[in-house]
Amino acid sequence: AQSVTQPDIHITVSEGASLELRCNYSYGATPYLFWYVQSPGQGLQLLLKYFSGDTLVQGIKGFEAEFKRSQSSFNLRKPSVHWSDAAEYFCAVGPYGGATNKLIFGTGTLLAVQP
């Protein structure tokens, strides 16, 4: 069955510190992978996506993610966290095209940023 695991429910980092949010997936075919962020009162915003090609993907707000097929992982990273990065982050996997484009999400990681 298709699934996405985000093992860290809640992470706290200091402003300026580096960040890595973990995501593992279980998917039968080549996945399309996404990271979304939800700030308070906002909808989910797409940070980055991986379809094919270079396994290191650059996104908005200084985020990047690396697809590792051998580990079934798509971890999100940022070298220096800003207080405005405090939000909830969701990893998702989905098929390309086809009859349905539903996304399968992980449970989310809530990021707190300490001054």
Partner 1 sequence: EAGVTQFPSHSVIEKGQTVTLRCDPISGHDNLYWYRRVMGKEIKFLLHFVKESKQDESGMPNNRFLAERTGGTYSTLKVQPAELEDSGVYFCASSQDARRVSPSYEQYFGPGTRLTVT
Site residues for partner 1 per CB under 8 A: 4, 32, 36, 41-46, 49, 51, 90, 92, 94, 96-97, 99-108
CB of 91 to partner 1, least distance (A): 10
CB of 32 to partner 1, least distance (A): 6
CB of 66 to partner 1, least distance (A): 19
SS3 45: strand
CB nearer to partner 1: give 81 or 90.
90
**Spatial separation of the C-alpha atoms in residues 56 and 92, rounded to whole Å:** 17
**Spatial separation of the C-alpha atoms in residues 4 and 99, rounded to whole Å:** 21
CB nearer to partner 1: give 5 or 72.
5
**Spatial separation of the C-alpha atoms in residues 55 and 66, rounded to whole Å:** 6
Beta carbons of 80 and 16 less than 8 angstroms apart: yes
